């Protein structure tokens, strides 16, 4: 692999304008978001800023998407908080060290998965389960931020406890905090819903208006910081602010670690990696397709792994590809990851020289930007669609969402994975099977339940419409035994394998047992239409040797053989 990525080697001057504009706009979104998601993760503001520098550059070198915007995102920040809260006090030195270690572990896992080409791991999660997870996390995040809007302290291990604690704490609400936070939520919500339309009326193009509306959070940050700063609201009215953010670029180095922490963090790191990967790939994929570009899941693993390693060595926390910023990056005309590199350079300037400006930024305003951002993640559409189309999927979605709200993000996602796999095993363990007969006068054989076909007395002919493996082999055996049981005159059982692309060891064993047990009762077991590669492997097994003379090229030949034997008999 060439160390210089394709996009950089073949860079064209004409791409620069788009990359520069997109890089600038994404930076303006990224500043409030990186501060807000650090708050959400329970980390000091600078950790969010650090996570928005090197990771972008690392992804640009290894990732395959031209437009994915990597950095702190809401769900990964929530998962970080949930992983660290049992281990250390939020905001403490140890907490920050563990966050950095989490990023390191996540980076190592993603790189390892990428090198082992385990991109298929993303398929462990079905779309309804991901949707339920995101929706549940969004509710959990929004509810968790309400305390910052009111300026109160609350406790709670799940959504319901937090809400009840919040209800008790209502009388302690600080009016100045609520005024700032409430006004921010209203303005941001209005901006998301209507600002673009209003700006179009003033003569802006639809695209420019859309871009401008995305800058609303930055505007709220500037105005509220100015208000707090001018009137000294942090001192006079007890408005919690971001406070001192250390100025200067982060020192590079590996985080402190010990085996105990690694043991406590490997599972959260795995889940953050998996969820982040799935989300990033799906965003990157949908953007790439619009420009006929390609996303390579295994290269995404490498890109995201490198980004997390870069975050860890520069004092940041877990990062992944964000939905909102990626869409803006794309729409603003980013052509290559150079847009991200420009954005990282601008962020570096901010970190190096301007962190003092965030001192008076109220936490309530950051909470407002988080709340408005995550409510956009609540996904009723998928639930409605799944409910309409496939109740099992809808129930998985609801169970995962409720699981996240009631049990937390880790238990929720594990429940979701279990439900996904349970559904997969359940569906796989019910292969479609049909008893077939001859369409009169032809060499075609179809389902006896759906077509007028002729069967051969003494022959049970079954077509199975799936590969045979451990999850369905015994179901096939049961079905055939039931058919033989129901048809005491049967002397031949034919399995039509036209749809069988694979037979695993378990299924091979089941077929062997089936053949043996049928033979003991004087019934011949026949196969037809076995595909070439499947037959090649069978031939060299005990079962394959026993089946010599009982495997037919076509169903027609098998039927003819049975008919001939029955005439002779």
Residues near a copy of itself, by CB under 8 A: 120, 122-128, 285-286, 289-290, 292, 294, 382, 385-386, 388-390, 393-394, 420-421, 423-430, 432, 465-467, 469-472, 474-475, 477, 481-482, 484-485, 499, 501-502, 504-506, 508-510, 513, 517, 520-521, 537, 540-542
Q: How far is the CB of 425 from a copy of itself (least distance, A)?
A: 6
Closer residue to a copy of itself (CB): 150 or 399 = 399
Q: How far is the CB of 129 from a copy of itself (least distance, A)?
A: 8
Report which of 26, 31, 37 is spatially closest to residue 60, judged by C-alpha positions: 26
| Cα torsion 510, 513, 516, 518: sign | negative
Q: How far is the CB of 297 from a copy of itself (least distance, A)?
A: 8
Closer residue to a copy of itself (CB): 285 or 550 = 285
Phi, psi of 458 (to 5 degrees): 85, 0
**Is residue 100 classed as helix, strand or coil in its secondary structure?**
helix
C-alpha angle with apex 244: 243 to 245, nearest 5 degrees? Answer: 115
C-alpha angle with apex 329: 324 to 332, nearest 5 degrees? Answer: 120
Closer residue to a copy of itself (CB): 183 or 270 = 270
Q: How far is the CB of 509 from a copy of itself (least distance, A)?
A: 5
Closer residue to a copy of itself (CB): 173 or 502 = 502
Closer residue to a copy of itself (CB): 83 or 287 = 287
Closer residue to a copy of itself (CB): 77 or 472 = 472
Q: How far is the CB of 542 from a copy of itself (least distance, A)?
A: 7
CA–CA gap between residue 41 and residue 318 (Å, rounded): 10
Query: H or E segment at 347?
Result: helix 338-353
Q: How far is the CB of 9 from a copy of itself (least distance, A)?
A: 20
Q: How far is the CB of 424 from a copy of itself (least distance, A)?
A: 6
Q: How far is the CB of 194 from a copy of itself (least distance, A)?
A: 26
**Is residue 118 classed as helix, strand or coil in its secondary structure?**
coil
CA distances, 92 to each of 88, 89, 97, 256, 359 (Å): 7, 6, 9, 14, 19
Our separate counts of H helices and E strands in the chain read 26, 8
Q: How far is the CB of 457 from a copy of itself (least distance, A)?
A: 19
The tokens of 189 are what?
Answer: 């919500």
Closer residue to a copy of itself (CB): 9 or 521 = 521
Closer residue to a copy of itself (CB): 97 or 285 = 285
Q: How far is the CB of 13 from a copy of itself (least distance, A)?
A: 25
Q: How far is the CB of 511 from a copy of itself (least distance, A)?
A: 12
CA–CA gap between residue 238 and residue 173 (Å, rounded): 11
Q: Which residue has tokens 């501060």?
A: 35
DSSP string, 190-243: HIIIIIHHHHHHTT--HHHHHHHHHTHHHHHHHHHHHHHHHHTHHHHS---B--
DSSP string, 415-456: HHHHHHHHHHHHHHTS--EEEEEEPTTSS-EEETTTS--B--
Q: How far is the CB of 71 from a copy of itself (least distance, A)?
A: 24
Closer residue to a copy of itself (CB): 17 or 289 = 289
The C-alpha R_g of the chain, in whole angstroms, comes to 30
C-alpha angle with apex 273: 268 to 274, nearest 5 degrees? Answer: 100
Q: Which residue has tokens 């920040």?
A: 77
CA–CA gap between residue 436 and residue 555 (Å, rounded): 10
Closer residue to a copy of itself (CB): 296 or 557 = 296
Closer residue to a copy of itself (CB): 458 or 509 = 509
How many residues does this entry show for the chain? Answer: 569
CB-based burial label for 228 (10 Å; 0-12, 13-18, 19+) = buried
Q: How far is the CB of 69 from a copy of itself (least distance, A)?
A: 20
> Which residues are CB-contacts of 532 (< 8 A; sequence separation ≥ 6)?
none
CB-based burial label for 182 (10 Å; 0-12, 13-18, 19+) = middle
DSSP 525: E
Closer residue to a copy of itself (CB): 361 or 518 = 518
Closer residue to a copy of itself (CB): 29 or 547 = 547
CB 310 within 8 A of CB 58: yes
């Amino acid at each position: 692999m060439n160390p210089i990525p394709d996009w950089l080697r073949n860079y064209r001057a004409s791409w620069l304008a788009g990359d520069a504009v997109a890089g600038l706009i994404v930076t303006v979104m990224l500043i409030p978001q990186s501060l807000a998601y650090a708050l959400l993760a329970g980390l000091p503001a600078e950790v969010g800023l650090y996570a928005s520098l090197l990771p972008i550059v690392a992804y640009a070198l290894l990732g395959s998407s031209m437009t994915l915007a990597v950095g702190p995102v809401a769900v990964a920040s929530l998962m970080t908080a949930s992983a660290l809260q049992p281990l250390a006090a939020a905001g403490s030195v140890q907490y920050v060290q563990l966050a950095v270690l989490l990023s390191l572990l996540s980076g190592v896992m993603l790189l390892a998965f990428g090198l082992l080409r385990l991109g298929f791991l993303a398929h462990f999660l079905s779309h309804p389960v991901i949707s339920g997870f995101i929706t549940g996390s969004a509710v959990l995040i929004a509810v968790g931020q309400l305390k910052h809007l009111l300026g109160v302290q609350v406790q709670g291990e799940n959504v319901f406890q937090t809400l009840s604690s919040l209800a008790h704490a209502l009388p302690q609400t600080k009016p100045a905090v609520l005024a700032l936070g409430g006004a921010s939520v209203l303005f941001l919500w209005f901006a998301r819903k209507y600002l673009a339309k209003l700006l179009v009326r003033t003569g802006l193009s639809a695209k420019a208006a859309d871009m401008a509306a995305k800058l609303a959070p930055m505007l709220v940050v500037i105005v509220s910081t100015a208000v707090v700063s001018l009137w000294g609201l942090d001192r006079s009215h007890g408005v919690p602010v971001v406070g001192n953010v250390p100025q200067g670029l982060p020192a590079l180095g590996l985080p402190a670690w010990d085996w105990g922490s690694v043991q406590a963090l490997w599972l959260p790191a795995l889940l953050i990696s998996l969820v982040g990967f799935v989300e990033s790939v799906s965003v990157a994929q949908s953007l790439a397709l619009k420009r006929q570009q390609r996303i390579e899941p295994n290269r995404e693993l490498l890109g995201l792994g490198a980004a997390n390693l870069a975050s860890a060595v520069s004092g940041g926390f877990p990062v992944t590809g964000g939905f909102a910023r990626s869409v803006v990056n794309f729409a603003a005309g980013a052509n290559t990851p150079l847009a991200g590199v420009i954005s990282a350079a601008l962020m570096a300037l901010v970190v190096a020289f301007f962190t003092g400006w965030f001192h008076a930024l109220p936490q309530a305003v950051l909470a407002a930007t988080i709340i408005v951002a995550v409510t956009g993640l609540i996904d009723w559409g998928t639930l409605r669609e799944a409910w309409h189309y496939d109740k099992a999927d809808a129930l998985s979605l609801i169970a995962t969402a409720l699981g996240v709200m009631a049990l937390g993000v880790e238990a929720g996602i594990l429940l979701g994975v279990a439900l996904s796999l349970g559904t997969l095993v359940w569906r796989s363990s019910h292969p479609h099977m049909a008893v077939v007969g001859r369409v009169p006068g032809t060499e075609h054989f179809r389902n006896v339940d759906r077509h007028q076909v002729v069967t051969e007395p003494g022959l049970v002919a079954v077509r199975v419409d799936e590969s045979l493996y451990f999850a369905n082999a015994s179901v096939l055996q049961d079905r055939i035994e039931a058919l033989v049981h129901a048809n005491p005159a049967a002397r031949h059982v034919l399995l039509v394998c036209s749809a069988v692309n694979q037979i695993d060891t378990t299924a091979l064993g089941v077929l062997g047992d089936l053949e043996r047990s049928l033979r003991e009762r004087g019934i011949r077991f026949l196969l037809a239409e076995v595909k070439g590669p499947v037959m090649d492997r069978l031939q060299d097994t005990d079962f394959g040797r026993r089946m010599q003379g009982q495997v037919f090229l076509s169903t027609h030949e098998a039927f003819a053989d049975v008919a001939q034997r029955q005439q002779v008999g």
